[in-house]
Amino acid sequence: MIPNDVYKAFIKTGTAWANAHCEASQLEDQLKSMLAQFTLEAKEVDGVNSMAEAKEIALSASRYREAIRDAVEARREANIAKVTYEATKSLFDAQRTAEASARAAERASP
């Protein structure tokens, strides 16, 4: 196990996780603003009398459903990136344990 390679693997997978998490969070945060915008747009349509009705229309809008789909997909990608980072960390820990066990076995043998 080469420390520089381990460091690079942690940086690569950790950065991928951070970027994916940031993107997912941004998309999720935008959903409330989009819902408010689409609700106000629906309220301006003739025949829509209440904010509750306008909100129901906004929730059913294809643009809003697509935004939700995009946010969910981004969160899925962030979760996969986190799994990759955690797997990298687990692999490093396992390798370190194996090397420590090998050194202890060498010291114990006559």
Taking only the tens place, the pLDDT of each residue in 26-73 is 999 999 999 999 999 999 987 888 999 999 999 999 999 999 999 999
Using the predicted structure, report yes or no on whether residue 1 has a pLDDT greater than 70.
Answer: no
Q: Which residues contact 71 (CB under 8 A, 6 or more apart)?
A: 24, 27, 28, 30, 31
Q: Mean pLDDT across the chain, nearest whole number?
A: 93
pLDDT of residue 95: 87
pLDDT bracket for residue 25 (50, 70, 90): very high
Contact of 11 with 40, CB cutoff 8 Å: no
Nearest to 61 by CA among 36, 86, 80, 79: 36
Using the predicted structure, report yes or no on whether residue 78 has a pLDDT greater than 90.
Answer: yes
